[in-house]
Every structure is written in C-alpha cells, then in structure tokens.
Chain A
Amino acid sequence: MQITVNGEDTALAEDATVADLVAARSGGHDRVAVALNGDVVPRSSWPDTRLSPGDTLEVLAPTAGG
C-alpha cells in the first residue's frame, strides 16, 4: 500500500504498523514522536496501530532549536 511519510510517497506491506515504520525510519533516535493523519500516536500504541492506504504520517525527532 501507499502512504505518505514525512511528505514522501512510501510503499509499505499491507499489514504494516506504526512500530514497523518507526523501526525502519527512526535512524538511531530513541526519542521519536509520531503523528498519524494529524493526531499523536502514543508510543504504547505503535505496535497495535495498523496503517491504511492513503495515511499521512509524520515521524519526528529532536533537533537543535531556540
């Protein structure tokens, strides 16, 4: 299925969860936050949150900032 991750079209397995996607995309960050279609997905819900075609996901990590 196709979803949008951080603004990019991304192909995923049909049964992919948020946890799968974070594992693939978090790049060594452990303090990561995820928004699915404009709502926060708490870390505890990542393994049980299945993705659907057309979903929009933001995977965010800490950076420097004022």
Chain B
Amino acid sequence: MSTSELAPALAREEAADPFTIAGETFTSRLLLGTGGVPSLETLEAAVRASGTQLVTVALRRVEASSSASMLEVLDRCGVRLLPNTAGCRTAREAVLTARLAREAFGTSWVKLEVIGDEHTLLPDAVELLDAAEQLVADGSTVLAYTTDDPILGRRLADAGCAAVMPLGSPIGSGLGIRNPHNIALLREGVDVPVVLDAGIGTASDAALAMELGCDAVLLASAVTRARDPERMALAMRQAVEGGRLAKLAGRIPRRWHAEASTSFEGLPEL
C-alpha cells in the first residue's frame, strides 16, 4: 500500500473508532459545553465545526435563561443534549436539579457537578459521591465531573457512573492538564469511559488528554471564549483526533540520550 493510500485508510479507521457511553455510540470524541457562547450564530458555527454529538446545557430560573432558540439551534445541529447540575453545592441540590433536568429535557443523562465553593469551582468529593449513588439508584445515566484523584474516580465508577470526567485544571482556567500522571492512573483504574473535563486552554491540551488514554474531551470556554470560536472548535476536533491516533499508534519511549535515526553504518571518513 502506498503512502497516498495509507492516509485515507487511517482516516477511515479513525472514523470507525467510536466510543460508547451507557450503550450509546459516538463517533466524535469531543463533547462541547455551551457556557460562555457569545451568540447563537457563533454557537451553531462552533458546534458544526467541532463535529460534536453531545452538548452540555444548564437549567436556570426562566427569567434568567437563554432564549428558547438556543435549543432550536442545537436540535438543528442534531446533537444530543447533556444537562448539567452546574452551581449545585450539595448532593440534595444536585439530585433535585438532575431530576428537574430529566423533566425539562426528557433525558435521564446528566453531567453531575457538585462544587465545593465558587472560588475554585472544584468538586466536593463527599457530596459528589453521595449524589452519584442517589442518581444511579434513581435510574439516571451519570457522567460525573470529578477531581483527578484516581481513587475517587474508581469509587464513582464502582457507584455505577456511566463515565468519569476528571478535571485537567479548574473550570475556565485554561491551565491545561496539571497532573497528567493522575489522569493516566485514573484511566487505568476504571472500566467506564474517562472524559477529560475542564481546564483545557488550547488544542495541545486536548491532544494530551487523548494521548494519556482519555476516551473523550469535554470543553466549553476554550472554544466559546476563544477569539475565533469556530476556528478553535475545528482545532479541538483535529487535536482530539490527532491525540487519539497517537495513543493508538503508540509513542516512542522517552530517552535520556539521543538515538540516531540515521544509521552510522557506512558513514564515510571525510
């Protein structure tokens, strides 16, 4: 097979490399959040450029909510909606919000988010696990936003979460993946999909998440608050695909010293 035939073949392999959450198959490994989006036109352009099939949304008091046309845009794009429990501080609030989201959106899927404070927006491990157990018992498909703690990740998977979604760094910080070792350890420790969620700043962060073995990446601000959201959405799509291919291809080991790629055999004495 010539090189020119190989590239399309690999592209097809990538296209046929779906992942599954709770029995639902997705060919795109990029999940997009809508938070921070400047306009509906930008949202539609970014969603289409990203190729995403799963998009997060939130619930707020009706007076403070977006216009109904946001959902029309998302429906038109053909994406599945993933309601979140953003802003909840206790298991009780998160469970109630998830049940309300089930009513509003007609889906049992929820991105479970229980934060400890508004300054760091870091997950509250105790409340999170409690909420996850209640919602799983309630029949919800729980995608749990969590810290990068491999043990907590395992506890969430053991509790029946459909996916575990560790942060790379705090929400909206754009600081990337602060502890790649933990992300790789968490990935090794659970059988459910792992989605890197939060902290992505630019395309290389998304590629790294995939190289570390994550099944997918969820990001919002990195696209919606970029200078050109549509272009950044495309960058993220390609970074996720590139990182996934690199993971499958198997990277070379890191070495302390150089290893020549050009043979020394037959080196002329000049």
CB distance from B131 to the nearest CB of A (A): 15
- Chain A residue at smallest Cβ distance from B105: A31
Known contacts A6-B63, A29-B65: A62-B105 contact under CB 8 Å:
yes
The listed residue (A39, A40, A43, A58) touching B61 by CB distance below 8 A is A58
Are A60 and B104 in contact, with the CB atoms below 8 A?
Answer: yes
CB distance from A66 to the nearest CB of B (A): 4
CB distance from B196 to the nearest CB of A (A): 13
Most chain B CB within a 10 A radius of its CB, from A34, A58, A63: A63
CB distance from A62 to the nearest CB of B (A): 5
Residue-wise interface mask of A (28-49) relative to B, using a CB-CB cutoff of 8 A (1 in contact, 0 not): 1111111100111011000000
Are A66 and B105 in contact, with the CB atoms below 8 A?
Answer: no
Are A61 and B220 in contact, with the CB atoms below 8 A?
Answer: no
B84 contacts partner chain A, Cβ-Cβ < 8 Å: yes
Are A65 and B100 in contact, with the CB atoms below 8 A?
Answer: no
Per the bound structure, the CA–CA distance linking A58 and B65 in Å amounts to 13
Per the bound structure, the CA–CA distance linking A30 and B220 in Å amounts to 25
B residues with a Cβ closer than 8 A to A are 33-37, 43, 56-68, 70-71, 83-84, 86, 96, 99-101, 103-106, 171-172, 198, 218, 220-221
The listed residue (B33, B35, B43, B65) touching A62 by CB distance below 8 A is B65
The listed residue (A35, A38, A63, A66) touching B65 by CB distance below 8 A is A63
**Interchain residue pairs A-B with the least CB separation, the first 4:** A65-B58, A66-B33, A66-B220, A66-B35
Residue-wise interface mask of A (1-31) relative to B, using a CB-CB cutoff of 8 A (1 in contact, 0 not): 0000011000000000000000001111111
CB distance from B101 to the nearest CB of A (A): 7
Using A35-B100, A63-B59 as known contacts, list a sample of 15 further A-B pairs with CB atoms less than 8 Å apart, ordered by residue number in A: A28-B67, A33-B100, A60-B100, A61-B61, A61-B68, A62-B65, A62-B83, A63-B58, A63-B66, A64-B36, A64-B66, A65-B56, A66-B36, A66-B84, A66-B218
